[in-house]
A = this chain, B = another copy of it.
């Protein structure tokens, strides 16, 4: 066990190493704008007055909240919680019929890594994808409406933690597994781990027209754990790189047992070749999934030794190098794609693991960067001037260094224990070099106390100069696993839904509102408008629905107020039901009216001065 590991395990016994390191770094940086008491200049830089807007959208991971959180930068104000994997009564997500069906019986997810759709390696602002580590799902969010349009379940995976990352034209959404598991939900004891457990990479396709996801094929890798990954671009387009840990095959106490070896691997995959191989029939079918094994193909999958237990690998904007950060090795390693290609051409392999040729570390490595005292590098981001920025989990800082030379240019403390960093347009071929955000895991006593569970925190830096300027430290909602920052003018959000008269179940005229019975099904085709519901235009009480106990009731409601920001809600009292209809939207909610009595219906989205009067009744006659 090396010294660093000993130090890390010290954390377990209650010693928060980060505090110690922070104390030193804090002193070094006493002159930073936000800690010297003279913060007028930075205050103005994060203040967005009424009438102006933020410069960037921050699309931030909601972690175990399951949702996408949208912040504005530089104000760092939370603009919107967009439901993706978890139910959200605020929007009726998981209550209305469409979203409930899409969620597939799950009520939550563990949203880790958002990725904005790319065209030519640049964020195109059309869609966003994310992974649910807990329940093995990938979701697509339409950034025109900020609505989740599809969720796909990935079989054979054990938590697609190392997801999602995209190839430069969104050809594939790549999702490597975190835990190896037996294929097909089979049971196999842990004693059979090396034989029966597999490490799966899912290659998912997305169709922009239908807004649907589909699993294309899976790659069967050794039962290692896969961590964060990135796709090649420009000269390395066609390849992906992904880090591994637990190449020790530990099946218990991974804190110790998965940290034994000095090196794990980076797996380097030629996805273009594999895609061709699959098209050429080289994949095997397993329960309806096309699966490809390294042993059945050649020239597509390689491994490169890397400093132990890396948390991730990131490709430079020009696509020439990839940087791995070893959370248990206090250094960043720069690898060269060209060197890797050369080593592959030479077939200069040092080993073979499960059919995967292993390249020599020295052949592919270009440089190790090891700033003194900088511990726990987790994630690398880039600016437009050849610099890299690394978050240091243990020493609680961001280190700026030059990719070409390894020269360390600046170090700034963060508050505290940063996971990912996010640079403006940071994962594209042309980062902006304006802002950098550290997504921190620990807030300690940064903010007003809200009991034993604290918010996470984030630090915003201005990175436009040589030295980073700390602008603000803010509370942030769980869990800032990763985020992407996109220039505001790349998002083209629609303020209202089109008035689509062909939309199923939509009603656009008050006079067309009606209630239809089909056996024990009652279908209400209604409208919502300021400030009333019309469920049945022909009835004496147009805002009442009368059914018999046991009827299956479908409420199809169209919001015919085609005005920006006039969303209506609809709840049915005591029935645990709520949905919303955004301007021009038709929503459906169905339920069995199993309780008799009188159940007021009212609008849950404040919509007008007479919002309080926007109500009606569900009357359920006893059987």
Contacts and interface: CB of A to CB of B under 8 A. Distances in A.
A565 B443 contact: yes
B53 A448 contact: yes
A254 B479 contact: no
Nearest to A413: B50
Given A135-B576, A615-B179, A79 B450 contact: yes
Interface string A306-337: 00010100000000000000011000000000
B187 A620 contact: yes
Nearest to A563: B14
Contact of A146 (B39, B251, B444, B451): B451
B574 A609 contact: no
A108 B574 CA distance: 10
A154 to B, nearest CB: 11
B90 A107 contact: no
Max chain B C-beta neighbours (<10 A), residue from A44, A80, A491: A80
Contact of A578 (B108, B607, B613): B108
Contact of A452 (B181, B583, B595): B583
Interface string A1-31: 0000000110110101000000000000000
A1 to B, nearest CB: 13
Given A253-B542, A254-B615, A578-B110, A609 B491 contact: no
A622 to B, nearest CB: 5
Contact of A530 (B11, B89, B254): B11
Interface in A192-208: 197
A546 B43 CA distance: 55
B610 A8 contact: yes
Contact of A64 (B42, B89, B451): B89
Contacts of A563: 14, 16
A255 B251 CA distance: 65
B252 A544 contact: yes
Contacts of A616: 252
Nearest to A182: B598
A600 to B, nearest CB: 4
Interface residues on A, range: 35 or more
A187 B593 CA distance: 13
A433 interface: no
A453 B582 contact: yes
A621 interface: yes
Contacts of A530: 11-12
Given A49-B35, A451-B146, A571 B90 contact: no
A602 interface: yes
A190 B544 contact: yes
Nearest to A251: B541
A540 B493 CA distance: 55
B49 A46 contact: no
Contact of A543 (B40, B50, B179, B252): B252
A256 to B, nearest CB: 8
Contacts of A596: 185, 187
Contact of A573 (B135, B571, B605, B611): B135
B529 A477 contact: no
A39 B51 CA distance: 12
Nearest to A571: B134
Contact of A80 (B72, B80, B475): B475
Contact of A88 (B65, B146, B598): B65
Interface in A159-201: 159, 161, 178-179, 181-182, 185-190, 197
A505 B72 CA distance: 44
A129 B441 CA distance: 30
A503 B14 CA distance: 23
A182 B450 CA distance: 41
A162 to B, nearest CB: 11
Interface in A472-500: 472-475, 477-479, 481, 488, 491, 493-497
Nearest to A143: B451
A47 interface: yes
Contacts of A187: 596-598, 619-622
Given A253-B532, A488-B448, A532-B253, A34 B49 contact: yes
A66 interface: yes
Interface in A255-271: 255, 258-259
A554 interface: no
A18 to B, nearest CB: 9
A239 interface: no
B190 A619 contact: yes
Interface in A41-77: 42-44, 46-47, 49-51, 53-54, 57, 62-66, 70, 72, 75-77
A47 B50 contact: no
